[in-house]
Amino acid sequence: MREDANLSTRDLRAFLALSHTCNFGQAAAQLSLTQSALSALIARLETQVGARLFERTTRSVSLTAAGEAFTQYATDILRQTQRAIHTVRDITALRHGRVSVAALPSLTAGLVPELFARFHAAHPGVALAVTETLSSGAFEQVREGRVDFALTAANPRHEDLAYEPLTQDHFILLCAPGHPLAADDAAIALAGTLAWPHVSMPPEASVRQYVDRALAEQGLVFSPAFEVHHIATIGALVTQGLGVSALPETAADLIAHRRLHVRPLAAPGIQRPLGLVRRKHPGLSPAAETMRQMILQHYAVPASSRNVFSAETGTATPSDSHSSRRR
């Protein structure tokens, strides 16, 4: 075969039509070509591969040894081409594909499952994956292509990464209903709560970092009585009156069933920005882009009007997670 051979699927289909019929007239009819056009196409193909593929006489057409060998390869190439086309169409139409998301623990236990359920109901053929990670680890996962995008609490400010702000996650103070701080509903300064034991996350967690930073700006050092990794554990410790906790609302939503007393933090408070981080190049797959748009639309709706998707009923109902907290 010539090194610069340029075979098209049209060439291969013509070859296979003639190899199956061994009749120029029948093969030309199948291909909607004239016999002379088919003859010229086969001659050009033989020049491209550098061998005669057919023996021609005035009475018959038959494959040569080279033609016999070429038949299997031509069949495989056309089959693989069709598979590739179908796969691309399926991916574009969201019948197949994969979306992988890295997110903060408070989001993997709250928002992400809700959105995944909604996405899966519309596109059941697309595989979904989620990785629970802190913000610092999320950036490398995005950069290395291990996930399509990440939902984080910080702007990485790197040239190869794009950051899209989603919302501001406001911190609130949680305490047990019988705790002294539960006697009032008014906003309270975080510094004014340090006389009581605090329950918080380790220093590497964004929740802790925002609390540390807010107090450091006032010349104070935050020393919680308990440092735990899971929001559920924070909820259990606070419920038992072992401490109070300053948490962002997305995290507090996960333990709303404990009916803890909630107090807003006095101005300026603490706000944790949440955003979506993705690579600038290459772009997202159709499935990942659809998920991204779903997330952007979720945060474009006021929190009080958002719908929570029910996987059991397939319906959406207005969210009341914030109103369900005991104040």
Q: Which CATH number fits domain 169-271: 3.40.30.10, 3.30.750.24, 3.40.190.10, 3.30.470.30?
A: 3.40.190.10
Q: 98-166+273-318 architecture in CATH?
A: 3-Layer(aba) Sandwich (3.40)
- pLDDT exceeds 80 at position 56: yes
Q: How many CA atoms lie within 13 A of 283 on its CB side?
A: 5
- pLDDT exceeds 70 at position 323: no
Task: List, for residues 152-187, the tens digit of each pLDDT value.
Answer: 987 667 778 999 999 999 999 999 999 999 999 999
Average pLDDT, the chain: 88
> What is the rounded distance in angstroms from the CA atom of residue 88 to the CA atom of residue 122?
19
Distances 313 to 4, 123, 239, 279, 291 between C-alpha atoms, Å:
59, 17, 32, 36, 21
Task: Decide the pairing of beta strands 307-309 and 316-318.
Answer: antiparallel
Domain parsing of the chain, residue ranges: 9-92, 98-166+273-318, 169-271
Report, as an integer, the average pLDDT of 100-114: 92
Task: List, for residues 294-314, the tens digit of each pLDDT value.
Answer: 999 999 877 655 544 333 333
- pLDDT exceeds 50 at position 326: no
Q: How many CA atoms lie within 13 A of 65 on its CB side?
A: 0
pLDDT band at 44 (very low <50, low <70, confident <90, very high): very high
- pLDDT exceeds 90 at position 150: yes
pLDDT band at 4 (very low <50, low <70, confident <90, very high): low
> Do the domains spanning 98-166+273-318 and 169-271 agree at the CATH topology level?
yes
Task: List, for residues 212-238, the tens digit of each pLDDT value.
Answer: 999 999 999 999 999 999 999 999 999
Structure tokens at 69: 């060998």
Task: List, for residues 180-213, the tens digit of each pLDDT value.
Answer: 999 999 999 999 999 999 999 999 888 999 999 9
pLDDT band at 5 (very low <50, low <70, confident <90, very high): low
State the amino acid at position 149 in one-letter form: F
pLDDT band at 88 (very low <50, low <70, confident <90, very high): confident
pTM of the model: 0.67
Residue 318 pLDDT: 46
What percentage of the chain exceeds 70 in pLDDT? 90
Residue 93 pLDDT: 67
Please give the CATH number for the structural domain made up of 9-92: 1.10.10.10
Residue 154 pLDDT: 75
Task: List, for residues 258-271, the tens digit of each pLDDT value.
Answer: 999 999 999 999 99
Report, as an integer, the average pLDDT of 87-96: 75
pLDDT band at 320 (very low <50, low <70, confident <90, very high): very low
